[in-house]
Chains A and B, each alone.
Chain A
Amino acid sequence: MQPIADPIVTFRRVQKTYDGENLIVKDLNLDIARGEFLTLLGPSGSGKTTCLMMLAGFETPTGGEIRLDGQRIDTVPPHKRGIGMVFQNYALFPHMTVGENLRFPLAVRKLPAAEIDAKVKRALEMVQLQDFAGRYPQQLSGGQQQRIALARALVFEPKLVLMDEPLGALDKQLREHMQLEIKHIHQSLGVTFVFVTHDQSEALTMSDRIAVFDKGIIQQIDRPDALYDAPANAFVASFIGENNALDGRIEHDDGDSCGVRLVDGSFLKAANGGVGRSGEAAMLSIRPERVRIVADADGANRLPAQVEELIYLGDHLRIRLRVAGSTTFTVKTPVSRLAQSPGAGQQVHVEIAPEHIRALTPMPA
């Protein structure tokens, strides 16, 4: 992880425990760059939401320090932090109209009425709901409520906006639409966004950088393409995107590349993703779209395979194969690239270029 110059937020050795026994966040170090869209991604219980709540001020770290703009904020109460936040179920005040909801943070700051009116109008225009100021939140659709919640978090012009799984309650189509809309608002405002989700495709769509959490630790933090193409460990490889995992043992280690002997005795060359020395166990991570199905064994990095199942998905075909002892080895091929689809039970071969196989240290069971 390269150091970030002049970060807006820094977490240093931050810890959090609720029961005094188990650390839900262990030794967190994180720099957030000014103006970036950072997503905290991870399964539930991985510590990502706790991390966000400590930043917002609703949880107090058990150890370590958090700085915002160089100032320690871990003892500052939430209402003095000036951080915008969008909550999971929007938390729009039901007894206030949309307009009153948006005025709320400005009125608290005792801005002149004319300025409040102008800012509320601009915020509503930003989310394209100019005509809804007089409505109550319950009279809006889920997507509209979502936009108002976002407008309310932005209307007082915070430097930092936090979002706690804000799209979880929306249906799939609306969620994808909102992902792009939030991304565009981020690009036009230049405000720093920190977004929490457990949905990896959401994270890949929206983020400048993604921090993958598991067991209270950031497993990897990087750009979306780097995370996908070069996962740092077996957890990241399996959590982000689809992944075929083959178990084997390192036979020789050549620095950037290595040779791996699989459990069934076959041999593959792979990119070295930070595995140990020769003789140690390795997990090969192979993306389904990087596998080519070929007829014969003439060529490098080819393995025999048996077709188990074909799933037709319109634009592409998913083929489940038996490869090197694994029966869940999946290949994704565009239908247009396939001259003739293989039949179930057919004997074929798979070819994977060595740079698309990542040898990783297996997860401790």
Chain B
Amino acid sequence: MPTETLSLSAPPNDPVVGLKQRLRRAERRRKLLYGALILPLALFLAIAFIWPIAALLKRSVDNPEVHGALPQTLAVLKHWSGDELPPAEAYAALTRELTAIRGTPELGTAAKRLNRETPGYRSLIMKTARKMPLDDGVDPQGALMSIDSRWSDVDIWQTIKRTGSPYTAFYMLSALDLTIDADGDLAATPPEESIYLDILGRTFWMSLIVAVCCLLLGFPVAYLMANLPQDKSNNLMIFVLLPFWTSVLVRVAAWIVLLQNDGLVNQALIALGITDAPLQLVFNRIGVYIAMVHILLPFMVLPLYSVMKGISPVYMRAAMSLGCPPFKSFWKVYFPQTLPGIGAGSLLVFIICMGYYITPALLGSPQEQMVSYFIAFYTNQTINWGMAAALSAVLLAATLVLYVFYARRLGASQAPAGR
């Protein structure tokens, strides 16, 4: 009997406290168990996902090159006002440090970093370093100025000071086509150098088009699947999932074969007399849209299907019994109930699309390359981790903003429905 065991194990003199303690102990044990169940995955995520992302994001503000190469010079410049030429100790420290790192990779990276700030700086550093070490007893200031007259330029020294801090907003600002001008104010990058806002806009726009196309194509399929008998909808589901069974690369290659100038699609169009000359369907935006919609369609159909499956067909009947014509019933009663699915599917497709790399890289012209292409470009080709990390951070931030927007809008509208 339950009451008997309860009175046996609880101390009879203080039953309330004993009960509460035992409840807490029981709950603690359960919480520990739950914790243990998710621990392996939580650890894996922390090591393989959260930590690398955090490390990468840190690189977007990291600025170690000059700071690591010229610490003494920077220490002297710290107290320098920046209005006139720096004190003689600065010249001496720079001479010492250039001598010390001459011929090491450190010099090269620092020179490259400075060059990014002021074009021509790289050659200045390299030229100066080649003349090191100076002969004993020579005045470093005069010697440097005679090696290159630019060492008597205040701006040149300001560049060292500016790039010398261990952290910088340079990459993040560059990713948004912004820069800090000589006066230390935020300014737009000159138009011939500003590309990232365009690319970001293009990434958004192309993702939007793909998401809308997926919605337009996926909605009827999901509706059909949700309203067919189970065996038929299962068969249809196989066709929806079929693209998942082959690699993206294979599918992209297949699209190239199909869409190229003498490909199957163009041959068919010409044979049918629709066009005389082959249409340019690949290595432009049309090709990218076709392939991306094809690849991402299942991500739209599945959330839509799962939401539609839960909408009873009785709602449509009820609307019609109340005098509402069939199409209006669909629009007023069925469609609003699919909004959570539309939101989830569109967001999924849009977010995946924002990070797409392979398809535009293989099927598009330079005009179709999205943010991910430039991230790959900076990591693989120019080894500019700062820029790669900054672009990644912008992409991540845009995705998070979208997600929060979605959660607010649909979360709020769904709260009363309790689903």
Contact = CB atoms under 8 A, between A and B. Distances in A.
Which of B322, B333, B419 has most chain A Cβ within 10 Å? B322
Interface string A106-141: 001100000000000000000000000000101100
B418 interface: yes
Contacts of B333: 93
B361 to A, nearest CB: 42
A85 B318 CA distance: 7
B324 A58 contact: no
Contact of A58 (B317, B328, B416, B418): B317
A87 interface: yes
Contacts of A89: 312, 314
Contacts of B322: 79, 84, 104-105, 108, 152-153, 156
Nearest to B325: A79
A91 B323 contact: no
Contacts of B321: 56-57, 78-79, 83-85, 153
B416 A136 contact: yes
Which of A77, A87, A94 has most chain B Cβ within 10 Å? A94
Q: Chain B interface mostly helix, strand, loop or mixed? A: helix
A80 B326 CA distance: 11
A155 to B, nearest CB: 9
B318 A138 contact: no
B322 to A, nearest CB: 4
Contacts of A104: 319, 322, 324, 332
Interface residues of B, number: 24
Nearest to A85: B321
A95 interface: yes
A190 interface: no
A82 interface: yes
B337 interface: yes
A79 B324 contact: yes
B418 A82 contact: no
Interface in B192-242: none
A93 B314 contact: no
A105 B333 CA distance: 12
Nearest to B317: A58
Contacts of A87: 314, 317-318
Interface string B319-347: 11111111011001100110100000000
A62 to B, nearest CB: 20
Which of B320, B332, B339 has most chain A Cβ within 10 Å? B320
Contact of A138 (B317, B325, B417): B417
B405 interface: no
A104 B323 CA distance: 9
A78 to B, nearest CB: 5
Which of A88, A92, A93 has most chain B Cβ within 10 Å? A93
Contacts of A57: 320-321
B315 interface: yes
Contacts of A95: 336-337, 339, 417
Interface string A63-87: 0000000000000011110111101
B416 A91 contact: no
Interface in B378-419: 416-419
Contacts of A83: 321
B335 to A, nearest CB: 10
Contacts of B318: 85, 87, 91-93
Contacts of A138: 416-418
B312 A91 contact: yes
Contact of A93 (B315, B323, B418, B419): B315
Given A94-B337, A94-B417, A139-B416, A108 B314 contact: no
A94 B414 CA distance: 10
B312 A78 contact: no
B317 A91 contact: yes
Nearest to A105: B322
Interface in A328-344: none
A79 B323 contact: yes
A91 B315 CA distance: 5
Contacts of A93: 315, 318-319, 333, 337
A349 to B, nearest CB: 47
Contacts of A82: 323
A273 B416 CA distance: 58
Contacts of A84: 321-322
A91 B314 contact: yes
Nearest to A58: B317
Contact of A79 (B329, B337, B419): B329
Contacts of B319: 93, 104
Contacts of A77: 320, 326
A108 B315 contact: no
Nearest to B329: A79
A152 to B, nearest CB: 7
Interface in B154-200: none
A192 to B, nearest CB: 15
Contacts of A109: 323
A170 B325 CA distance: 31
Nearest to A97: B416
B296 to A, nearest CB: 27
Contacts of A91: 312, 314-315, 317-318
Contacts of A94: 337, 417, 419
B341 to A, nearest CB: 13
Contacts of A105: 322-324
A219 to B, nearest CB: 28
Which of B317, B318, B326, B329 has most chain A Cβ within 10 Å? B318
Contacts of B317: 56, 58, 78, 85, 87, 91
Contacts of B332: 104
Interface string B266-284: 0000000000000000000
Which of A85, A95, A156 has most chain B Cβ within 10 Å? A95
Nearest to B413: A95
Contacts of A78: 317, 320-321
Contacts of B314: 87-89, 91
B229 to A, nearest CB: 13
Nearest to A138: B418
B416 A108 contact: no
29 contacts: A58-B317, A58-B320, A77-B326, A78-B320, A78-B321, A79-B323, A85-B318, A87-B318, A88-B314, A89-B312, A91-B312, A91-B318, A93-B315, A93-B318, A93-B319, A94-B417, A95-B336, A95-B337, A95-B339, A95-B417, A104-B319, A104-B322, A104-B324, A104-B332, A108-B322, A136-B418, A153-B321, A153-B322, A156-B323
Given A79-B324, A88-B314, A105-B323, 5 more contacts: A89-B314, A91-B312, A138-B416, A153-B321, A153-B322
Q: Which 7 pairs between the two chains have the least Cβ-Cβ distance?
A: A105-B322, A91-B318, A85-B321, A136-B416, A79-B320, A91-B314, A78-B320
